[in-house]
Structures are given as structure tokens and as C-alpha cells.
Amino acid sequence: MMLLEHHAKEFLSQAGVPVPEGVIVTDPQVPRFIFPCMAKAQVPVGGRGKAGGILKIKSAAEAPAIIERILGLTIRNHPVRACRLEALVDEAAEAYFSLAFDPDSGTIRILIAAEGGVDIESPEMRAKLLQAAAPPAVAPAQAALETLLPSLPESLRGPMREVVARLIPLFFEREAVLIEINPLFILPGGGWVAGDAKILTDDNALPRQPELRALIEQYPALYPEAALKLAQGFDFVQLDKLGDIGLVTTGAGLSMQLVDEIIQRGHRPFNFCDIRTGGFKGDPSRLIQVLKWVASGPNVSAILMNFFAGNTNLAELVPLILIALKNVPELRQKIILRMTGNGLDAARKILAESGNPIHVETDLERAIDRALADAKEWQHA
Amino acid sequence: MLDAFLAPDVKVLVQGATGRSGRSQTAQMVAYGTNIVAGVSRRDDPEVKIPLFKTCADAVRETGAKASVVFVPPLDVLAAINEAIEAGIELIVTVAEGVPVHDALKAKAATREAGVRWVGASTPGLAIPGKMKMGFLPNVSLAPGGLGVMSKSGTLSSEVCYRLVERGFGQTLWVGVGGDSVKGTRFADLIPFFAADPATTGIVIVGEIGGSEEEELADALIAARCQKPVFALLAGRSALEGVTMGHAGALISAHIGTIETKTAALRKAGAEVSPSIKLLIEAVSKTLAPS
């Protein structure tokens, strides 16, 4: 999960990394803070400045309007749910630091540059990045950094050593996948401050990362996907609140592909979902939850369920679907159930005996065709 | 030629043979024809019909097992891999979902140092159709044939192979490499085997956004001068940036690991990249003859 900047900076601060003072706000009421300051949209993607998500607040008087404007933005499909107010940083040089895995060699990679900033993705800037790889442990990473330092201006060497000394232990303790500080402000007196911070953590490590779990539990509205995964063990991502096709699907890859294909065909999936039928264990509650969310989409006009039962059994799944549908009476759109694999005949029999009008297809292409046609019909009715 | 990667009659042990899924999957692997010679578990289980041992070392010493398929919970996978390496296992397949990345890094370093092949962290496994499987690739999607298949997603590749099998296209070898960012066997590692195998007449890749594996694969195809037709399907072109879509590896950030970079690299290497399952199957059907 990508930490929001505010929480990334809290983690950094706890590890002894200097960050500008800041507070997180989720409503436009004037918080106690010192103005002028910066107001920064808290979303897990870059490009915030260009999208109008980073603005200067000159006085307490203009704070509510600016915060409200930022909280009303959607940046790269992420609605802004929180805003960080942050103290201004005096005139400073901007450097770059990141720590990540090299998934191929299994090493960690340190990237540094004397110049950082928003243009770091440009080919000219990337060409100036210095990089070194090291086995995944603190001492080798520090040794690797030493090989890069001679290529940096003298004024940067001290700060970079301190950055590495603090961030490498943090990288391992929090089981991070990426830590990027850009810009890393180098102050005229030799001090340094993390201007922005990107920390990508590993959801799979949550069972043994109590601080990360606590963060998600404290802010479920800011990390809805991670909160769901943590509490209920499956994935649901709302993709398009005006989407017309609701998806109840299992398997990450196949579910992503279905989203792609529905978009290619001119429709708008409301959600992505990997419901993980293997984890049902006879309990319909995941299905009920997903159906309720899908039913809440104002434009959802048809629901496509897809279950390829390679290792599960459809005869065990269908009774759960029937119970779930009874529990979501608000769902009035047509449902297309594509199912194939183990237990198909028995599952069909159970459905037929139930009298439920749910439409069954065994072929995925026909199921998609039917769902899209049903959606059009619903929209015209 | 694929024997260099995996011999169909290799002696296999199952780590975690007495867990709920280990027990049922072991029975299915045996039924499929896999030469399962032992199970490893700390506890006894009269329902498990294969010889059970307390440790990998005991199992290897008594049975001569060379490969292991691991059915233990995700946080126990690293320890199981280390135990298998110690015991002298040469191929390890791990299937648990949710192995932490830092554990995968350690496992990668350990297997590499020991010269052990690792397929994982989280994969549905691998299969030589009609002969053996390690893991739980679904039988309905398996059939002997001429395609070399490698996949990140279990469900998407199961759908693709199921429909290819319906059209008469089976597989020589299918390896699920998994959707993790750090993994034991990457797409590019498999190319030399498929390129050199005369029975493999085409290669199917089921990839997805995130990471740089498809780009490396393109380089490997060029380096191997692979003249076989290569068909690719890449999932996740509409994934939401900054959010994990089910697979830890499928997270796009900035300009790395996008569908555009992957498609361009694969096309440059001569692969046919299809935007939909249907078009992928049509591409295979037009180019190759069913087996």
C-alpha cells in the first residue's frame, strides 16, 4: 500500500528524519496551524501540483476556501479525502534519494541525485541519477552508498550519509518496498529536510507490522482497499462511481482482464473485485458485502458474476449466491452468472429448483455480451 | 529438452501435507500422476496416504526426493524453503498467497546461492500436462500439446488455457510464476527452455501491469533468437494507479510497468500482443495447428 504523504512523514519523523511540521485535515474548518503554509492533497499518486492539489495558504482567513477546494478534487481517479497543512521550507537546494528493490537480482537499489524535484521522471534527470545495488541488509547498503558519494558535491555527502543511516533500518523494520524522498531539501547551513515522501509498504507483511495495522485501523476511510483486505481478506476497488457494470468476480488477473475488456467495449465498470471464493468456507457474507456495494452504484445497470471453478465447487458456491441475493433486496438489476468448472450440473440443478431468474452462461464472451446488452436495456427503460 | 527444467517423473515431496489444502491437493496431485514420494509435517495424519516424515532431511534421505511443493501458511514459507534447501531439494514450488516481499527477497538470495530453482512466492504451480503437476493448476485447463505457457495470474491463465484446450491447443509445460514483485522464477528465465524444446511450437504469456518482467522477457526472446510464435495477453491496462489490484506486483507507479511499455517491448521482440482473451485465442488458432 502507498502511504499518504502525511503518514509517510510521520514514519520518517519517528525514524529521526527531519520533516516540515504538518497536520492532516479532512474538513475545511480552520485547524490550529501557523500561516502562511502549504496545503497538499493526500492521494497515493504523483502529479498533485499540476492537478491543483498543492496550494499556498497565506492567512488563516483564506484557509477554509483553499482546503475545501483541494478536498473537492479528484486526482488521477483518486478522490482527495484529506489534506496536509505543512510549514514552509526556506530557500533550499533540492536533491533526490530513493531506496527500492531490484526484483530481478533480489538486491536493494539506492538511487541518489544532486538535483531532484518534480521533473525527476524526465530522461535528462534520470540520466543524472547515481545508483548502487547491495544485498538486502543495512551494512552492505551503507557500503554501497559510500561508492556513490565521491560523485556528489561535497555539501551533499554529509546529509546523504545521515539519510541512509536512518532510512535503511526503517526500510527493513517496516518491510517497505520503496522509500523515495523527492525533493530532499538541503538547507544552506548543511541541514536537511524531507520535502516529500513516498513509502510503499507490503500488505502481505501486515500480520507482523502492528504500526501499519494500527494506521489502517485508525484511518479506514483514507485506506479503504487496505482496510477491507485487513478486515475481510479480499480485494474490492471502486473504479468509477458512475460506472454501469457491477462485477462480482474472483481471481486478480482474470478480474483485471474483465475490467479492461468491458472498458474496451465502451462500458464503465463500477469496481474491481477479487472476492476469493476459496476463502468463503461456506459463509455468504463476502458475497453479501460485495453485492451491497455494487448495488450502491447509482448507475450500475447490470451485474456480471464470473466464477471459474478450477479448484472450488460450483455446487457449494451457488447456494451461497442464493442466500446472498436474498440479503440484498435493493439489488434490482439483472444478474448474469457465468460459471464453469467443477460441479456445474449440480449447480444448475440447485439454481433451477430455487426458481431464481438469474441468467446463467458457461461461456465468458457470451456472458459479457449479455451483461452489456442488459445494461443498455436498463438504461433505456 | 524441457527435462532440463523439470523431469516428468521427478520424485516430489509435499511440505505441509497435513494442512487442509495440503491434504486435498496432495491427493489430487497423486491422482494426476505426479510421483509424490513423501509428505513432511510435524504431526501425524492417518488420512494422508503417502509416507509422512517430520523433516525434509528425513524425507529426502529415505525417498530420494528432488523436488518439493510447499503448502504452508504464507509467513512460514521462508522457513520451509530454507529447510528444503538444507535437505538438498533442487526445485521448490511455493503456492501460498500473501508471502511478504522481504521474505521473498531472503528466499531468492538463499535459493540463488544454493543453486536451487524456486517457483514462487505465490503461484498456482506448474504442470507437464498428462504427466504431472505440482500445485493446483486446474485439470480442466490442462492437456498435452505444443504450447509453452507462463503466467502471472492463476485465474486468467486458467481461463485462457481452458479455452485454448477447447480449441485443441494443449501445453508442453505450464509454469505459473506468480503475481509477486519479487519471485524465484521470472518469465525470462524460462525462455531458453521453451526456445530449445522441439515439442514446444508456440509460447503463450499471460502477463500483467507492474514491474519489468515483460520487458526483460522481450530482451530474452531477442537474445535467444527465438523464432517460435509468441502470444501475449497483458491484464490491467485500466488499473488504478497507486492501488494494489489483488496482486502485490501489479502496482503501477509513474511510467514504470505500464501496458504501453510492455506492449512496445514485446512487439519489438516479435510477439503478438492481444488486448482480449478472445483475440489471443484467435491469434493462436490462426498461427498454429491444433495438436
State whether A83 and A141 are in the same domain: no
Considering only CB atoms, A257 lies closest to which of B99, B106, B156, namely B156
More confident residue, A28 or A307: A307
Q: Are strands B12-15 and B67-70 parallel, antiparallel or unpaired?
A: parallel
Which candidate, B276, B75, B71, places its Cα nearest to that of A311? B71
The set of long-range contacts for A240-243, using a CB threshold of 8 Å and a minimum separation of 24, is A240/A77, A240/A268, A240/A269, A240/A270, A241/A270, A241/A297, A241/A298, A242/A268, A242/A297, A242/A298, A242/A299, A243/A267, A243/A268, A243/A269, A243/A270, A243/A271, A243/A297, A243/A299, A243/A300
* Domain assignment of residue B131, yes or no: no
Q: Do A177 and B238 touch (CB under 8 A)?
A: no
Query: Taking 90 as the threshold, does the pLDDT of residue B139 lie above it?
Result: yes
State whether A46 and A107 are in the same domain: no
Q: Do B243 and A250 touch (CB under 8 A)?
A: no
Q: Do B235 and A260 touch (CB under 8 A)?
A: yes
Instruction: Report residue A20 as a C-alpha cell.
Output: 516540515
Residue A197 domain boundaries: 93-201
Residue B33 domain boundaries: 2-119
Exposure on the CB side of residue A42, measured as CA atoms within 13 A: 25
How far, in Å, CA of A103 to CA of B214, rounded? 13
Band the pLDDT of A126: cuts 50, 70, 90: confident
* Domain assignment of residue B48, yes or no: yes
Cβ neighbours of A45 in B, within 8 Å: 241-242
Query: Taking 90 as the threshold, does the pLDDT of residue A221 lie above it?
Result: yes
State whether B41 and B176 are in the same domain: no
> pLDDT at position B146, please?
97
State whether A148 and A177 are in the same domain: yes
* Domain assignment of residue B129, yes or no: no
Query: Taking 70 as the threshold, does the pLDDT of residue A154 lie above it?
Result: yes
Instruction: Report residue A145 as a C-alpha cell.
Output: 552508498
CATH number of the domain residue B188 falls in: 3.40.50.261
How far, in Å, CA of A36 to CA of A33, rounded? 9
More confident residue, B252 or A175: A175
* B166 touching A (Cβ < 8 Å): no
Query: Which among A87, A119, A139 is the end of a domain?
Result: A87
State whether A145 and A118 are in the same domain: yes
State whether A132 and A188 are in the same domain: yes
Which candidate, B229, B152, B222, B146, places its Cα nearest to that of B187? B152
How far, in Å, CA of A112 to CA of A157, rounded? 11
How far, in Å, CA of A39 to CA of A62, rounded? 11
Query: Which among A155, A186, A201 is the end of a domain?
Result: A201
Which residue of A257, A273, A314 is the best one to mutate when testing the B interface, meaning the one whose CB has the most B CBs within 10 A?
A: A257
State whether A336 and A365 are in the same domain: yes
Residue B239 φ/ψ, nearest 5 degrees: -65, 150
Q: How many domains does chain A have?
A: 3
> pLDDT at position B250, please?
56
Q: Do B155 and A308 touch (CB under 8 A)?
A: yes
Residue A175 φ/ψ region, left for φ over 0, alpha for ψ in the -120 to 50 degree band, beta for the rest? left
Query: Taking 60 as the threshold, does the pLDDT of residue B251 lie above it?
Result: no
* Domain assignment of residue A213, yes or no: no
CATH number of the domain residue A61 falls in: 3.30.1490.20
Query: Taking 60 as the threshold, does the pLDDT of residue A237 lie above it?
Result: yes
Band the pLDDT of A90: cuts 50, 70, 90: confident
Q: Are strands B230-235 and B171-176 parallel, antiparallel or unpaired?
A: unpaired
* Domain assignment of residue B132, yes or no: no
Average pLDDT of every residue of chain A:
92
* Domain assignment of residue B125, yes or no: no
Q: How many domains does chain B have?
A: 2
Residue A77 to chain B, least CA–CA distance (Å): 7
What order of strands is seen across the sheet that includes strand A359-361?
A: A245-249, A302-309, A334-341, A359-361
Q: Where are the beta strands (DSSP E) in A250-376?
A: 271-274, 302-309, 334-341, 359-361
Angle between helix B259-268 and B213-223 (nearest 10): 10
State whether B32 and B91 are in the same domain: yes
Residue B207 pairs with which residues in a beta bridge? B234
How far, in Å, CA of B213 to CA of B262, rounded? 9
Torsion of CA A78, A83, A86, A92, to 10 degrees: 20
Query: Which among B93, B119, B145 is the end of a domain?
Result: B119
* Domain assignment of residue A166, yes or no: yes
DSSP 8-state secondary structure symbol assigned to residue A2: B
State whether B141 and B258 are in the same domain: yes
Query: Taking 90 as the threshold, does the pLDDT of residue A74 lie above it?
Result: yes
* Domain assignment of residue A224, yes or no: no
Which candidate, A104, A124, A102, places its Cα nearest to that of A113? A124
Collapsed DSSP state (helix, strand, coil) of residue B142: coil
Q: Where are the beta strands (DSSP E) in chain A?
A: 22-25, 37-41, 54-57, 74-75, 78-79, 83-87, 93-102, 107-113, 130-134, 176-186, 192-194, 197-201, 235-238, 245-249, 271-274, 302-309, 334-341, 359-361
Q: Do A252 and B102 touch (CB under 8 A)?
A: no
ipTM, two decimals: 0.93
Residue B218 to chain A, least CA–CA distance (Å): 14
Cβ neighbours of A135 in B, within 8 Å: 109
> pLDDT at position B246, please?
57
* B1 touching A (Cβ < 8 Å): no
**pLDDT tens digits, B83-93:** 999 999 999 99
CATH number of the domain residue B111 falls in: 3.40.50.720
Collapsed DSSP state (helix, strand, coil) of residue B7: coil
**pLDDT tens digits, B201-221:** 999 999 998 888 999 999 999
Burial B153-171 (b: 16+ CB within 10 A, else e): bbbbbbbbbbbbbeeebbb
Which residue of A48, A216, A267, A311 is the best one to mutate when testing the B interface, meaning the one whose CB has the most B CBs within 10 A?
A: A311
Cβ neighbours of A203 in B, within 8 Å: 244, 248
> pLDDT at position B46, please?
86
**pLDDT tens digits, A337-370:** 999 999 999 999 999 999 998 999 999 999 999 9
Query: Taking 80 as the threshold, does the pLDDT of residue B152 lie above it?
Result: yes
Considering only CB atoms, A203 lies closest to which of B108, B213, B244, namely B244
* Domain assignment of residue B17, yes or no: yes
Collapsed DSSP state (helix, strand, coil) of residue B51: coil
Which candidate, B213, B185, B113, B215, places its Cα nearest to that of A135? B113
Q: Do B233 and A103 touch (CB under 8 A)?
A: no
State whether B147 and B24 are in the same domain: no
> pLDDT at position A261, please?
95
* Domain assignment of residue B8, yes or no: yes
State whether B99 and B227 are in the same domain: no
* Domain assignment of residue A240, yes or no: yes
Q: Do A1 and B206 touch (CB under 8 A)?
A: no
State whether B154 and B268 are in the same domain: yes
Collapsed DSSP state (helix, strand, coil) of residue A312: coil
Cα distances (Å, whole numbers) of residue A105 to A18, A136, A187, A204, B115? 32, 11, 36, 21, 14
How far, in Å, CA of A357 to CA of A87, rounded? 60
Which candidate, A266, A213, A4, A215, places its Cα nearest to that of B243? A4
State whether B22 and B77 are in the same domain: yes
CATH number of the domain residue A116 falls in: 3.30.470.20
Exposure on the CB side of residue B117, measured as CA atoms within 13 A: 16
Q: Do B242 and A178 touch (CB under 8 A)?
A: no
* Domain assignment of residue A252, yes or no: yes
State whether B112 and B226 are in the same domain: no
State whether A178 and A243 are in the same domain: no
CA A13 to chain centre: 22
Residue in B with minimal Cα distance to A207? B75
Task: Average the pLDDT over A130-148 and give the result.
Answer: 89
State whether A104 and A78 are in the same domain: no
State whether A241 and A326 are in the same domain: yes
State whether B9 and B147 are in the same domain: no
State whether B164 and B229 are in the same domain: yes
Q: Do A77 and B240 touch (CB under 8 A)?
A: yes
Cβ neighbours of A74 in B, within 8 Å: none
State whether B156 and B274 are in the same domain: yes
* Domain assignment of residue A11, yes or no: no
Query: Taking 90 as the threshold, does the pLDDT of residue A333 lie above it?
Result: yes
State whether B148 and B97 are in the same domain: no
State whether A342 and A369 are in the same domain: yes
* Domain assignment of residue A109, yes or no: yes
Residues 2 through 41 of chain B touching chain A, CB cutoff 8 Å: none
How far, in Å, CA of A204 to CA of B209, rounded? 19
Count, residues in chain A: 381
Task: Average the pLDDT over A189-209 and give the result.
Answer: 93
Residues B107 and B77 sit within 8 Å (Cβ to Cβ): yes
> pLDDT at position A107, please?
86
Cβ neighbours of B108 in A, within 8 Å: 106
* Domain assignment of residue A228, yes or no: no
Residue in A with minimal Cα distance to B141? A310
Residues B145 and B172 sit within 8 Å (Cβ to Cβ): yes
- The owner of cell 541518489 is A112
* Domain assignment of residue B22, yes or no: yes
Query: Which among A87, A112, A146 is the end of a domain?
Result: A87
Q: Which residues of B are identified as catalytic? A: 247
Q: Which of A147-151, A220-224, B135-139, B243-247 has the lowest mean pLDDT?
A: B243-247
Q: Tell me which H or E stretch contains B13.
A: strand B12-15
State whether A188 and A269 are in the same domain: no
> pLDDT at position B243, please?
67
Residue B62 to chain A, least CA–CA distance (Å): 31
State whether A42 and A125 are in the same domain: no
Sign of CA dihedral A232, A234, A176, B240: negative
**pLDDT tens digits, A302-325:** 999 999 998 889 999 999 999 999
